[in-house]
C-alpha cells in the first residue's frame, strides 16, 4: 500500500512521525463512461477557455477564487498559498480527547490509516493506540493535507490508528423542515419496534456484498459473449401498500424470530387510520373465534333447518285437526301466527276446540 501523505502527530511534547494510507477503495464500485449512442465512441472532456474557445493544456491550468454570488474570479498562485500561516502543516495537532459519542457521524468525511514512519516511531505510535483503546476515547485535532486544513479524529482500529477527516461545524446543514411534526406514537408500537431491533441479531460484515455490481458484471459478460442478458427476477412487491403499522411490526418480529422473510406487504408498510386498524382487529378476532368454536357455519345451518321444521310440523298437525273436525282454514290460522313457538300444547287446544264445535252441532240437531 502506497502512502499518500507524510507528517507527524503532535501529542503533548511527544512527536510521532506517521505515514498516511487511504483506508477505502472506491474503484470496485460500478462506474460508467459516457459514449456516443450513434457510433459507440467514448466522449472526451476537454478544458476549453471561455474567452477564446481554445483548448487549454494542463500545464496552463491555474487556481482562482470566486466568492459566492460574485462573478469576479481572483487568480491565486501556489506562491500566494505558501505564504499563508498554516500551523497544522505536516502536523496533526491533537487538541482534546473525547468520547466517541460526541462526534456526530455527519461530520466524518474521509478515512485514512496512519502507520509509524520509521523504527523510532513504533513505540510512541503503539503507546497512543493502546491509550486510545484502553481509555475508550478518540483524539480530535487539526491537520493540513493537500493545501487544506481540516479537523481530524483519531481512533484505534484493528491494531492500527485510523484518522477521519471531519467537516467543520458550519458545513453541516440543519435538519429544519425535514422531520414531521406532531406525530403520536403508541407505547405498544415503540415496544414492537424495539423488539424487532433486538430480534434482527448481529450483522456479519463478511456476508455483505454489492449485488448490483455483480448484476452489472453478469450483464456485461453476457453482452461480450453476444448472448441475451438474463431477465431479472420478478419482484414480490408491487409498490407501497397502506397497511397497519402495528400489524407490520408484529409480522416483522415473527419473521425475525422465526428466521423467515416478512411478506412484501409488511416491507412496504405505512400508517393507516385507527378506524381501519380496529376493523381489521375485529375481523381477525372473529376468525380466531371461528377457529376455536369449530365449524359455526354448519351449526348455524342445523339450527335454521330445525327451526324451519318446527314451523312446518305444528302447522301440518293443526291443519289435519281442522279437517278431522270439519273446520276450515280458520283453524289453521292460529298456528301460523304462533310461528316457531307452536308446539304440542297448542295442537291439543285446537283439538279441544274442534270437539266443542262438534258437540254444539250435535246438540243443535237433536233440539231441532
Cα-only R_g, the chain: 44
**Nearest CA among 17, 166, 187, 201 for reference residue 95:** 166
Summarised one tens digit per residue, pLDDT across range 50-71 is 999 999 999 999 999 998 888 8
Rounded CA gap, 104 and 92, in Å?
20
How distant, in Å, are the alpha carbons of 107, 181, 183 from that of 177?
A: 20, 9, 14
**Nearest CA among 108, 102, 90, 97 for reference residue 24:** 108
Per-residue model confidence as pLDDT tens for the chain (368 residues): 888 889 999 988 899 999 999 998 877 778 888 999 999 999 988 999 999 999 999 999 999 999 888 889 999 988 887 787 766 678 899 999 999 999 999 999 999 999 999 999 999 999 999 999 999 999 999 998 877 888 999 999 999 999 999 999 999 999 999 989 888 888 988 998 888 888 887 888 888 878 888 888 888 888 888 877 776 665 555 455 546 777 887 888 888 877 555 454 444 444 443 344 444 344 444 444 444 444 444 444 444 445 554 444 444 444 444 444 444 444 444 444 444 444 444 444 444 455 545 544 444 444 44
Rounded CA gap, 123 and 163, in Å?
19
Indicate the pTM of the whole model.
0.58
**Nearest CA among 136, 141, 170 for reference residue 156:** 136
CB atoms within 10 A of CB 209: 8
Main-chain dihedrals φ then ψ at residue 323, nearest 5 degrees: -65, -40
Rounded CA gap, 327 and 316, in Å?
14
**Nearest CA among 29, 31, 73 for reference residue 51:** 73
141 CB contacts (<8 Å, ≥6 apart)? 10, 88, 92, 93, 94, 95, 151, 152, 154
Summarised one tens digit per residue, pLDDT across range 329-347 is 444 444 444 444 444 444 4
Amino acid at each position: 500500500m502506497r502512502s499518500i501523505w507524510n507528517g507527524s502527530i503532535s501529542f503533548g511534547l511527544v512527536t510521532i512521525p506517521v505515514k498516511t494510507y487511504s483506508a477505502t477503495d472506491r474503484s470496485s464500485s460500478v462506474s460508467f463512461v459516457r459514449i456516443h449512442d450513434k457510433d459507440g465512441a467514448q466522449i472526451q472532456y476537454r478544458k476549453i477557455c471561455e474567452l477564446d474557445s481554445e483548448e487549454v493544456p494542463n500545464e496552463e491550468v491555474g487556481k482562482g477564487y470566486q466568492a459566492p454570488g460574485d462573478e469576479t474570479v481572483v487568480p491565486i498562485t501556489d506562491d500566494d498559498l505558501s505564504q499563508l500561516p498554516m500551523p497544522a502543516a505536516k502536523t496533526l495537532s491533537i487538541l482534546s480527547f473525547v468520547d466517541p459519542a460526541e462526534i456526530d457521524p455527519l461530520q466524518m468525511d474521509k478515512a485514512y490509516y496512519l502507520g509509524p514512519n520509521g523504527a523510532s516511531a513504533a513505540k510512541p505510535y503503539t503507546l497512543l493506540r493502546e491509550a486510545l483503546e484502553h481509555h475508550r476515547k478518540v483524539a480530535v485535532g487539526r491537520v493540513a493535507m493537500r493545501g487544506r486544513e481540516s479537523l481530524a479524529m483519531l481512533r484505534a482500529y484493528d491494531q492500527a490508528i485510523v484518522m477521519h477527516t471531519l467537516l467543520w461545524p458550519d458545513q453541516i446543514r440543519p435538519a429544519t423542515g425535514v422531520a414531521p411534526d406532531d406525530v403520536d406514537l403508541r407505547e405498544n408500537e415503540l415496544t414492537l419496534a424495539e423488539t424487532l431491533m433486538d430480534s434482527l441479531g448481529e450483522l456479519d460484515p463478511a456476508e455483505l456484498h454489492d449485488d448490483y455490481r455483480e448484476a452489472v458484471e453478469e450483464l456485461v459478460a453476457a453482452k461480450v459473449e453476444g448472448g441475451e442478458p438474463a431477465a431479472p427476477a420478478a419482484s414480490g412487491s408491487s409498490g407501497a401498500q397502506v397497511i397497519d403499522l402495528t400489524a407490520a411490526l408484529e409480522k416483522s418480529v415473527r419473521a425475525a424470530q422465526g428466521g423467515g422473510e416478512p411478506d412484501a406487504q409488511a416491507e412496504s408498510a405505512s400508517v393507516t387510520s385507527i378506524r381501519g386498524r380496529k376493523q381489521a382487529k375485529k375481523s381477525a378476532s372473529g376468525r380466531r373465534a371461528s377457529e376455536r368454536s369449530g365449524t359455526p357455519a354448519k351449526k348455524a345451518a342445523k339450527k335454521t333447518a330445525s327451526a324451519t321444521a318446527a314451523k312446518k310440523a305444528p302447522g301440518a298437525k293443526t291443519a289435519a285437526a281442522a279437517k278431522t273436525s270439519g273446520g276450515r282454514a280458520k283453524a289453521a290460522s292460529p298456528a301460523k301466527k304462533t310461528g316457531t313457538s307452536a308446539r304440542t300444547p297448542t295442537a291439543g287446544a285446537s283439538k279441544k276446540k274442534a270437539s266443542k264445535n262438534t258437540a254444539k252441532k250435535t246438540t243443535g240437531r237433536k233440539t231441532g
